[in-house]
Amino acid sequence: MGPRVSAKMNTPEEINELIARVALGDRDAFRRLYRATSAKLFGICLRILRDRGEAEDALQEVYVKIWQNAKSYATDRYSPMSWLIAIARNHAIDRIRAKRPAAADIDDAIDVSDGALDPEQAAVARSESHRIDNCLDELEEMRANAVRGAYLDGYSYLELAERHGVPLNTMRTWLRRSLIKLKECLER
Amino acid sequence: MSDERKTAGPDGVLAAEYVLGVLPHAERQAFAARLENDPVLQEEVRFWSEKLSPLASEVEPAEPPATVLGSVESRLFGSAAGKAGWWSSLAFWRGLAVASLAALVVVAVYAVNLPGTAPSKPAFVAEIAGESGAVTLIALYEPDTGLLKLNRTEGAPLTGRDFELWLIGGGDNPISLGVLPAANRTEITVPETMRGRFAGAVLAVSDEPEGGSPTGQPTGAVLATGAVAEI
């Protein structure tokens, strides 16, 4: 299997059309959607679940849900990648919360972020992330990091509190305030 | 906090916490249940999902194992895709190869009698095996399509040699069905003239020079044979 991470990315319009076809029961479109998006969604599951076998099981469930929920995609009014990412993250987080409801084994976290993006990917990432990054920059660095850690690594409040060395309630208060500020910025 | 109610409201923050994924399991489930029938909450969740999703560009893509798509398809599309799933599973066929031909017939009947494709003609199966089991293939012939499907579960030709498949009917000389490709799982389109010859025939695999027998008849050792059974 050749390198495909940096292969030509499908445009949002293409992904949108594929999901619309999947909603009509088009199995070929489903397969193409899988080929176009599974590496990204697998990366997301892997990062949150930190276990390859778990992430593989999760990815299966995610694509079953994508097939089943495709009909509601049009009415959900999500942009295509946001919709797919939401399904993957929701499932991965449901899975990890159900598995270790009070877990805090933070030390076994795998750093999967060391693979550097190539310049093209980085440029795309920069422009897409521009707005959320700017808004996160308005927060204190530690609080911004808590938001990123929750989104990318699936940390629970308990894990965030331990990582940042603050009581659970303090962490929740911090994060809630940060989210309110973030929303104000994002709506600007 | 007065600004909390004003700008986002408790539900607004809860939606953000839900999308971030920080809520404890029970709270998360309770929110998800409310979300089902609450368009205002759904809109909040959509807002946060959209706004935060650019963060996912920081996640390095990772190629999932090739088996995942097949598993998804067999779960979603039922027996037709499921058939493709186990038909291509070497472990499945290896397990079956040590079972009896009766078991093989049962499986093959299932494979042929797919929903919506009522078989109009009987199909044929064979387990083609050598005495030592070093070379073993499972064969399924579907008269409706003229396709002979093969799964090689054990054995591979030596370098510079090929496996050739033969159909031997009654007292006739073996007729070549061609050199087997390198892949374990393959399909051969049986020539029209040979399609009526499966009943009561024997399938055999011989060791031949690269490219197949130069004489049109087996020249090397016959490595595996199997009687064709009608199902």
What pLDDT sits at residue B109? 59
What pLDDT sits at residue A53? 94
CB atoms within 10 A of CB A54: 17
Q: Residue A6 — very low, low, confident or very high, per pLDDT cuts 50/70/90?
A: very low
* Residues of chain A neighbouring B7 (CB-CB closer than 8 A): 180, 183-184
DSSP helix, strand, coil percent of chain B (3-state; round to 5):
40, 25, 35
For residue A172, which amino acid is it?
R
Residues near A120 by Cβ (< 8 Å), separated by ≥ 6? A6
Q: Does B55 touch chain A (CB under 8 A)?
A: yes
Residues in chain A: 188
Q: Please tell me which residue of chain A has the smallest CA distance to B68.
A: A60
* Residues of chain B neighbouring A67 (CB-CB closer than 8 A): 72, 76
Question: How large is the angle between the packed helices A80-99 and A27-49, nearest 10 degrees?
Answer: 50
Pick from B12, B60, B72: CB nearest A113: B60
* Residues of chain B neighbouring A5 (CB-CB closer than 8 A): 60-61, 63
Helix H or strand E segment including B105: helix B101-112
The two tokens of residue A98 are 């159900």
* Residues of chain A neighbouring B25 (CB-CB closer than 8 A): 97-98, 101
Q: Which of B47, B2, B1, B40 is nearest to B20 (CA)?
A: B47
Cβ–Cβ below 8 Å for B50 and A101: no
Q: Residue A107 — very low, low, confident or very high, per pLDDT cuts 50/70/90?
A: very low
* Residues of chain A neighbouring B33 (CB-CB closer than 8 A): none
Query: Distance from A62 to chain B by nearest Cα, in Å?
Result: 9
Pick from A31, A59, A151: CB nearest B64: A59
Cβ–Cβ below 8 Å for B60 and A34: no
CB B88 within 8 A of CB B185: yes
Pick from B47, B59, B65: CB nearest A43: B59
CB A45 within 8 A of CB A62: yes
CA distances from A3 to A6, A39, A42, A103, B208 (A): 7, 11, 16, 36, 37
Residues near B29 by Cβ (< 8 Å), separated by ≥ 6? none
Residues near A126 by Cβ (< 8 Å), separated by ≥ 6? A133
Chain B, 73-132: which have a CB under 8 Å from a chain A CB?
Answer: 73, 75-77
Question: How large is the angle between the packed helices B9-20 and A168-187, nearest 10 degrees?
Answer: 100
Q: Which of A147, A157, A177, A38 is nearest to B52 (CA)?
A: A147
Q: What integer is the mean pLDDT of A92-113?
A: 60
Q: Is the pLDDT of residue A111 over 70?
A: no
What pLDDT sits at residue B90? 53
Cβ–Cβ below 8 Å for A60 and B56: no
Q: Is the pLDDT of residue A2 over 80?
A: no
| B138 CB-side CA count, 13 A | 26
CB B187 within 8 A of CB B150: yes
Give backbone dihedrals phi and psi of A87, rounded to 5 degrees, phi first: -65, -45
CA trace torsion B30, B36, B37, B42 (10° rounding): 100
CA distances from B192 to A128, A179, B78, B177 (A): 59, 71, 32, 12
Q: Which residues pair with B207 in a beta bridge?
A: B163
Q: Please tell me which residue of chain B has the smallest CA distance to A64.
A: B72
The two tokens of residue B5 are 């109610």
What pLDDT sits at residue B172? 78
Q: Please tell me which residue of chain B has the smallest CA distance to A95.
A: B25
Q: What is the pTM of this model?
A: 0.58
What pLDDT sits at residue B113? 52
Q: Does B11 touch chain A (CB under 8 A)?
A: no
Task: List, run by run, the mean pLDDT of 10-residue segments along chain B (231 residues).
Answer: 46 93 92 93 95 94 93 81 48 55 61 51 81 81 85 84 88 86 83 86 89 86 85 75
Q: Does B10 touch chain A (CB under 8 A)?
A: no
What percent of chain A has a predicted confidence (pLDDT) above 90?
68
What pLDDT sits at residue A101? 53
Q: Does B71 touch chain A (CB under 8 A)?
A: yes
- Best interface-test mutation with B: which of A30, A155, A179 has the largest number of B CBs within 10 A? A179
Burial class (CB in 10 A: 0-12, 13-18, 19+), B203: buried
CB A88 within 8 A of CB A41: yes
CA distances from B14 to A160, B56, B139 (A): 17, 21, 59
What pLDDT sits at residue B95? 58
Residues near B218 by Cβ (< 8 Å), separated by ≥ 6? B164, B166, B174, B204, B206, B208
Q: What is the pLDDT of residues A9-41, one digit of tens each?
A: 678 889 999 999 999 889 999 999 999 999 999
- The span from the CA of B115 to the CA of B112, in Å, is 9
| A155 CB-side CA count, 13 A | 27
Q: What is the pLDDT of residues A131-170, one digit of tens each?
A: 899 999 999 999 999 999 999 999 999 999 999 999 999 9
Task: Tell which wins on pLDDT, A125 or A83.
Answer: A83
What pLDDT sits at residue A62? 98
What pLDDT sits at residue B104? 65
Size of interface A-B (CB pairs under 8 A): 173
